[in-house]
Amino acid sequence: MEPRPPVFALRGVGKAFDGPAVLSDIDLCIRPGEQVALVGPSGAGKSTLIGLLNGTLQPTRGEVRVLGHDLSRLGSRARRGVQYRIGTIYQQFHLIDNLRVVHNVNMGHLGRWSLFKAFVSLFWPLEVARARHALEQVGIADKLYARTGHLSGGQQQRVALARVLAQNPEAILADEPIASLDPERAREIMDLLRDLSRRRDKTLVASIHAVEFATSHFERVVGLRAGRILFDCAAGDVTPAMIDALYRIEHEADRGGPVGAGPAWAPQ
């Protein structure tokens, strides 16, 4: 059997906003079913990388292929078709607070619902059984009709997860999913993410601050620093020295030059 094509393939990718490059020379290949943690200090470019993977951002150089497609070359309809196969959860949940939970979960269906169906569902919620099933899997089925903004942070992240489950994508991206949660809630969400993606054979890519979760919940760890990949290895091979190099505070000598200009500390 031919191996399945990679879910994400990045070649020589760079991304700059109005200024110095946020990401440069990124080569990354993520295969179906892989569970990858992106670690690195604030400002390393983790969120930008996630944005490139779900098509929110386009690279300024190089090529990003998502499920075999170069999103920047697709028309808007075809691009949405690919984006529908990628689900994302965020640090700030990014739910619509003043809608009921059921609508936020149903937003996962928007990629295949017609506008008319979406409109009707706002007044008379449709596919409620599926929404309830998704919420059951994240453990808050009783909140189906609650106002989303009234839920706690941990519950809101569960709603966001249920939205992704309803979407049923091939890959799940998570941008700092636990950075706004307390340690107990964080562990629950990480366990859920790991178990749900394993059980359904989903690809999982999560950017995450807490290195201990990166090694305990993922197979592969990618270290980002100043817009470049510092290491990319199996979770078991990550050493304290690598983590130290990743989070080391820059010294005076390292500052001043353009970010990502390849300072001398890069060991590889």
Identify each DSSP E strand in the chain by its residue range.
8-16, 21-30, 35-39, 61-66, 69-70, 86-90, 171-175, 203-207, 220-225, 228-234
Residue 42 sits in the site that holds other proteins (CB under 8 A): no
Options 80, 150, 200, 248; binder of other proteins; rule CB under 8 A: 80
Options 8, 90, 213, 231; binder of other proteins; rule CB under 8 A: 90
Residue 74 sits in the site that holds other proteins (CB under 8 A): no
Q: Are residues 36 and 30 in contact, defined by beta-carbon separation less than 8 angstroms?
A: yes
Backbone angles phi, psi at 159, to 5 degrees: -60, -40
Residue 16 sits in the site that holds other proteins (CB under 8 A): no
Options 16, 118, 196, 242; binder of other proteins; rule CB under 8 A: 118
The region of 25-33, 135-143, 192-200, 210-218 touching other proteins under the rule CB under 8 A is 135-143
Residue 67, H or E segment: none
The token duo for 87 is 């689900």
Options 5, 42, 94, 239; binder of other proteins; rule CB under 8 A: 94
Q: How far is the CB of 2 from other proteins (least distance, A)?
A: 27
Q: Are residues 21 and 12 in contact, defined by beta-carbon separation less than 8 angstroms?
A: no
Q: State the Cα torsion 97-99-104-105 to the nearest 10°.
A: 130
Options 64, 66, 144, 238; binder of other proteins; rule CB under 8 A: 144
Residue 124 sits in the site that holds other proteins (CB under 8 A): yes
Q: Are residues 258 and 20 in contact, defined by beta-carbon separation less than 8 angstroms?
A: yes
**If you ran DSSP here, which 8-state letter would residue 262 be given?**
-
Residues contacting other proteins: total by CB under 8 A? 45
Which one, 51 or 223, has the nearer CB to other proteins? 51
Binding mask 160-199 for other proteins (x = CB under 8 A): -------x-x------------------------------
